[in-house]
Amino acid sequence: MAVNYKKCPKCGSKNSVKIVYGMPSFKLFQEAEAGKVKLGGCCIIEGGPEYHCKDCNNEWNREQVLDIAYGQIRGLKASVGGYFGGYYHVTNY
């Protein structure tokens, strides 16, 4: 399944940039100046945000996107199961 990591989980905007950690190269610095990436600083934070939303300033990482995506799948399966459960209930009568 395709997960769009760059889509903001808060406002749904795709106007987001990747947060790059570590010492930026000159090229990376120029990209940051142009608003293509966001510099996260020289220290890599475990479980820290990987994307920054330019619309609502929300920051998130891929793990959070997957959590939300799998949560939606679980919700879908529950409603399908409920439908079939109701179906069998009716045929038993």
If you count them, how many residues does the chain have? 93
Task: Please report whether residue 37 would count as binding Zn ion according to CB under 5 A.
Answer: no
Q: What token pair was written down for 7?
A: 């889509």
Specify the pairing of strand 16-21 against strand 51-53: antiparallel
Q: Which residues pair with 45 in a beta bridge?
A: none
What mask, x for binding Zn ion by CB under 5 A, covers residues 5 to 34? ---x-xx-x---------------------
C-beta of 40 vs 53, nearer to Zn ion: 53
Task: Please report whether residue 61 would count as binding Zn ion according to CB under 5 A.
Answer: no
Would you say 35 and 17 are in contact if contact means Cβ atoms under 8 Å apart? yes
Task: Please report whether residue 58 would count as binding Zn ion according to CB under 5 A.
Answer: yes
CB of 12 to Zn ion, least distance (A): 7
- Tell me the Ramachandran region of residue 22: left when phi exceeds 0, alpha when psi lies from -120 to 50, beta otherwise: left
CB of 37 to Zn ion, least distance (A): 17
Q: What token pair was written down for 43?
A: 């220290």
| List of residues contacting Zn ion (CB under 5 A) | 8, 10-11, 13, 53, 55-56, 58
